[in-house]
Amino acid sequence: MKQPWRAKAACNGLDPTIFYPHSDEDEDATDAKSVCAVCSVQNECLEHALGFREKEGIWGGATERERRRIIRQRRRAAYAAAGRRSA
């Protein structure tokens, strides 16, 4: 699977362990999130993680808990939009 955005990622070449903190707490994710905050492909990375349901690590500046929340919000919004269209 080609992911050309990865070559442009700010994390490219960094120690990957910072993106896999011991817990899902914000304090443990600070280093990774600071890298993601200045990354030019942050959105592509996040969308990849959401699409492939990445279970671990910081992707696109989001922890696994934050990604689950984004998915729930998107589902609710899609469900609400579908309900409005059928009414």
Give the global pTM: 0.88
Give the closest residue to 32 by CA, choosing from 21, 40, 48.
21
pLDDT of residue 64: 94
Rounded mean pLDDT of 13-26? 90
The count of structural domains within the chain is 1
| pLDDT for the residue numbered 84 | 74
Q: Do residues 56 and 29 lie in contact, with contact meaning Cβ atoms separated by under 8 Å?
A: no
Give residue 29's domain range: 4-86
- pLDDT per position as a tens digit, 23-76: 877 789 999 999 999 999 999 999 999 999 999 999 999 999 999 999 999 999
Q: Given CA atoms 54, 57, 58, 64 in this order, what sign does their dihedral have?
A: positive
List the alpha helices (DSSP H) in 3-63.
Answer: 30-37, 42-51
